[in-house]
């Protein structure tokens, strides 16, 4: 049984390097043939958000009170 639809499989690529994605049914994930990054598949939906190292924007918004730093 396939984790995702054949139509989706044809168009999906790794968001980091555009590499081909291969299904791994044992771990219920897609893995990039270039960088090896694995993306979990939940309910036939691949979770493909790349991790952004050093992106603490959400924490900064809470601490400063907003994007302009003027508080609430």
CB 39 within 8 A of CB 29: yes
Q: Which class for 30: exposed (0-12), middle (13-18), buried (19 or more C-beta within 10 A)?
A: buried
pLDDT for res 69: 52
How high is the pLDDT of residue 13? 96
**Alpha helix positions (H), 1-72:** 6-11, 57-64
Predicted confidence at residue 1, as pLDDT, reads 78
Q: Does domain 6-50 have CATH number 2.60.40.10?
A: no
pLDDT in tens, 11-42: 999 999 999 999 999 999 999 999 999 999 99
Q: What does pLDDT average to over the chain?
A: 80
pTM, two decimals, is 0.67
- Which residues, other chains included, contact 46 with Cβ-Cβ below 8 Å and sequence gap of 6+? 3, 4, 8, 12, 21, 30, 39, 40
For the chain, the domains span 6-50
């Amino acid at each position: 049984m396939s984790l995702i639809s054949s139509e989706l499989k044809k168009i999906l690529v790794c968001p980091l390097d555009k590499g081909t994605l291969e299904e791994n049914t044992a771990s219920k994930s897609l893995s990039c043939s270039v960088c090896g990054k694995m993306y979990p598949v939940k309910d036939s939906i691949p979770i493909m958000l790349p991790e952004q190292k050093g992106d603490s924007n959400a924490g900064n918004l809470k601490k400063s009170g907003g994007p302009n730093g003027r508080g609430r």
